[in-house]
Amino acid sequence: MRTVITNAKIVNEGRSFRGSVIIDGDRISEVKEGETTEKYNTGSQQPNDKGCQLPECILTGHDGNPVRIIDAQGCHLLPGIIDDHVHFREPGLTHKADIESESRAAAAGGVTSYFDMPNTVPQTTTAEALEEKFELAAKKSHVNYSFFLGAAHDNIELLRKLRTDGTMASTARRIPGIKLFMGSSTGNMLVDDNDALRQIFSNVEKPLMTHCEDTALINSNMRELEEKLGEEPAVGYHPQIRSAEACYRSTALAVALAKEYQTRLHVAHLSTARELALFNPGNKMITAEATVGHLFFCDEDYARLGTRIKVNPAIKSKDDRDALRRALNDRRIAVVGTDHAPHLLKEKQGGCRKAASGMPMVQFSLPAMLELTDKGILTLPRLAELMCHNPALLFGIKGRGFIRKGYKADIVIVKRGCPWTVNTDIIESKCQWSPLEGHTFNWKVEMTLCNGEAVYQNGKTSDKMYGEEIAFI
């Protein structure tokens, strides 16, 4: 069935304009600027107009075929959000999250594509483990998916083959890049040996996404604090242990290696003002991501939220947060992701050593960033660049990330002026909590379309799985 979204304010490619989007099948067939002029036979029109929900009806087109009309009057229409950084925990950690539950949360938050990280059980460091994830997602994902391959001490030959062995080309084309933990991780995925790092940086052709923290300095900081305090440090000490210096040292090393070997580097979750000096606006070879958590919270929030905002790298000072916010506009930050990392609340108990690091954010990332537009921190077109256009461009995604004719119909419709408060009843993530509980947002996701299908509308996620494997250039 043809779908026509009318009367929307379309936010796309640096502009906001009134217009309509026409969808045939899973693709955008036309983008019309200005008021809608096409006429339809009105037959049986049954609009659904409850509160902030979108009125829609099935009418008859001029060719006699049914047309679904969605009236987006008063709403903004953006490309579906592409989250370049999530941990959906499957396989092996499904007591706290899985692909179905977290992709459902993504759909409810306007996220239509995600890249999942490799620190699962087993770790995604082999071609076999990677294939298992694709097979799981094909059955369980509400929205589009792809998976990073993890770098480790024992799979450097595989990384080399992705670049040099023609028989591995199809595998290389299926992934957005390689994830390298130069800071905390589990098992053999922590790589902080200089020789191993050089082998990795010199043998990857795909984008290399790094988690940058200096492990030796972190361990030293932890020992000193425990000796001083005589007990496990409380969570308020987390940014002192996983310090700004620990982040800067590791990020500076990654940038230096990328320059030396001409590696396409993407540094995940910057958390400090100092790190920003290592990045230049417009440099497409060395880019940086900020997460919603580091943009939304600061160290003042530990007193209120405790371990709910314990993440690695740590959320740091207000000055650091504000510098990251400024960098959204001066383009030293290229992408905003979530590092969505669910844990059960019982796993978040303790202090700096015992409490698990990570928080679930994928369902609320877009409303949180839209709140920053209300505060004048960034514009709606810049938000679309950071969360839609740039992830598609920097990782070479085919046919997504823009509102363009011929592109996949991944679309999110949001409305301002519909206050709602985060509570456990609306949380889709399996872990069933959020650091944003009790927070009231003024922007609401009204509808999410993935490949032309409504995966979220009227406050509910579809039971059907419309996600597809993401294709890369």
Task: Tally Cβ neighbours within 10 Å of residue 433.
Answer: 17
The whole-angstrom separation of Cα 141 and Cα 210 is 25
The two beta strands, 2-12 and 66-71, are parallel
Task: Tally Cβ neighbours within 10 Å of residue 275.
Answer: 25
**Three-state DSSP state, 403:** coil
Q: How far is CA 104 from CA 140, 410, 435, in A?
A: 10, 15, 18
Residues near 439 by Cβ (< 8 Å), separated by ≥ 6? 421, 422
**Three-state DSSP state, 83:** strand
Q: Are 142 and 103 in contact (CB under 8 A)?
A: yes
CA angle 454, 455, 456 (to 5 degrees): 90
Residue bearing tokens 């740039």: 390
Active site residues: 339
Q: Are 290 and 328 in contact (CB under 8 A)?
A: yes
Chain length of the chain: 473
Q: How far is CA 230 from CA 90, 227, 234, 336, 348, in A?
A: 38, 5, 12, 39, 21
Q: How far is CA 99 from CA 29, 31, 92, 465, in A?
A: 30, 32, 11, 11
Instruction: Note the helical H segments in 210-364.
Output: 215-229, 238-241, 244-261, 273-276, 292-296, 302-305, 318-330
Instruction: Note the helical H segments in 111-167.
Output: 127-140, 156-164
Residue 23, token pair as written in the block: 């969808």
**DSSP string covering 227-256:** HHHSSPPPGGGHHHHS-HHHHHHHHHHHHH
